[in-house]
Amino acid sequence: MHQEQAITMLGIESSCDETAAAIVRADSDLSNPRIVSQAILSQLEDHRPYGGVVPEIAARAHLLHMDALVERVMTEASIDYAELTAVAATSGPGLIGGVIIGMMTGKAVALTHNIPYIGVNHLEGHALSVRLVASVPFPYLLLLISGGHCQLLIVQDVNRYRLLGTTRDDAVGEAFDKTAKLLDLGYPGGPAIEKAARGGDPARFEFPLPMVGTEGCDFSFSGLKTAVRRAFESENAKQENIKADIAASFQRTVGEILMDRSLQAMDMFNKVTGGLKKEPAFVVAGGVAANGEIRARLTGLCAANGFAFVAPPMSLCTDNAAMIAWAGVERFRAGLTDDLSMAPRARWPLDPDRLGFQQ
C-alpha cells in the first residue's frame, strides 16, 4: 500500500475522439480528492461530416495535440514533473490508434521522470469516476451507458468487478447516434435526439422492447433500430413533427429498456451482496447518463427500490482524463502499477471471467 504522502496523478485519455489530460490529487487515504487542472480537446467538428468517429482522423488529432495538452495541465497546476506521484493513461479498450498514442505519451513521461506508469481500463475510469466527487463506498451497482458500452456491473472494489449484463449487439449510445443520423438530426446523436424529443409525442410509435421481461440483465438494441427505420420509411418523415415523434418514442423506449434491465440488476445485486447495505448506490456513468429523461426515470426507479441514485457531473460522464487520473490514484493506493512493456488493448472487459475473455 502507498499511504505515506498525498497522491498527485497525471491522467491521459485518448480512447476515442477526445484528446484529454488532467492532474488529480488526493490525500494518502483518498480523502479530499480534487481536480487540479484538466484540458479536453473535442474532435466533434472533425467527425461531424461523417456522422460518427473516423478512427484515422481521431488518431491523427491525438498525435497532433496530446503533448501540448499535457504541458498545458502541468503549467496550469503549477507543478513540475518531479512532483507527480505517477502517470495513468487509458490502455484500452478503444480505437487502437488513439490508445497507442496516449499510452506512449504516458510511458514517455514515466520513463523520462522515473515515476510509475499505470495502465487504466477506460471502463474502470467510468466505473470509479463517481468516487472523485462523492463518497460512494464499495460495493455499488453501476449502469455504464455510452457510445461504445452498455453494461450493468457490481463494483466490488478497485480492480474487482462482476458483470451482470451487457449488450448483445449495439451499445445504447450507438443506437442514439444511428437513429439521429437516420432522422438527419445531426451528430452527436444523444443531445440531438433529446432536443428533438422535447417537441414530440412519445406515445406516437410503439417500438419493440428487446430483452425486456427476460431473465438476466443483457441488452439488445439492433431490433429497435430496425423498427425505427421502418417507421421512418413508412411515414412522411420529412415533416419535422414526425421526426420529433419518432425521437420521443425512441427515447421513451430506450428508457423502458434501461428501467427493466436495471430493476433486474437491483435484484441480482441484493442477492449477491446479501442486502448488507441499507441503501446501496446505483451509479450511472457514461455519455448517455447526460440524458435528462433517462436520469429522471432511473432516479424514480431507485427511489422505489431502496437504492440511492448517484451520477457524476456531466463533465465526468463523457470521456475525460480526470476520471483516468482518479482511477490511477485508486490503483496506485492499492499497489497496482504496470510495467512499461504493457501492451495496448482494443478489447478489455472489466470482468474477463464472465465473458470467457482470453488475454
pLDDT in tens, 109-138: 999 999 999 999 999 999 999 999 999 999
Domain 7-132+316-355 class, CATH top level = alpha beta
**What superfamily does domain 140-311 belong to in CATH?**
ATPase, nucleotide binding domain (3.30.420.40)
pLDDT at position 354 over 70: no
User: Which grid cell is 193?
Assistant: 435526439
Q: Provide the pLDDT for residue 188.
A: 83
- Report d(CA 336, CA 328) in Å as an integer: 9
- Indicate the DSSP class of residue 167: B
Cα separation of the two ends of the chain? 26
Q: Provide the pLDDT for residue 240.
A: 63
User: Residue 302 to residues 112, 263, 318: CA-CA distances in angstroms?
Assistant: 48, 9, 22
* CA angle in degrees (0–180, nearest 5) for 216-220-223: 140
165 phi and psi angles, rounded to 5 deg: -165, 155
Nearest in space to 265 (alpha carbons), one of 220, 215, 299, 300: 215
Average pLDDT over residues 29-39: 96
Q: Provide the pLDDT for residue 80.
A: 96
AA identity, residue 3:
Q
Same fold yes or no, 7-132+316-355 and 140-311 = yes
- Report d(CA 150, CA 161) in Å as an integer: 15
- The residues with which 163 forms a beta bridge, in sequence order, are 153
- Report d(CA 128, CA 229) in Å as an integer: 36
Summarize the chain as % helix, strand, coil (round to 5): 45, 20, 35
User: Which grid cell is 318?
Assistant: 463523457
Residue identified by cell 439488445 is 220
In sequence order, which ranges of the chain are alpha helices (DSSP H)? Answer: 44-47, 55-77, 96-113, 122-128, 172-182, 189-197, 222-234, 240-273, 292-305, 314-317, 321-333, 352-355
Report yes or no: 320 and 290 within 8 Å, Cβ to Cβ.
Answer: no
* Per-residue pLDDT band at 238 (split at 50, 70, 90): low
Q: Provide the pLDDT for residue 338.
A: 97
Report yes or no: 245 and 200 within 8 Å, Cβ to Cβ.
Answer: yes
- Report d(CA 145, CA 171) in Å as an integer: 7
Q: Which of 70-79, 278-287, 306-315 has the highest mean pLDDT?
A: 70-79
Domain ranges of the chain: 7-132+316-355, 140-311
Q: Which of 3-17, 64-78, 239-253 has the highest mean pLDDT?
A: 64-78
Report yes or no: 72 and 102 within 8 Å, Cβ to Cβ.
Answer: no
Strand 18-26 relative to strand 7-13, pairing: antiparallel
User: Which grid cell is 42?
Assistant: 473535442
Counting every residue, how long is the chain? 359
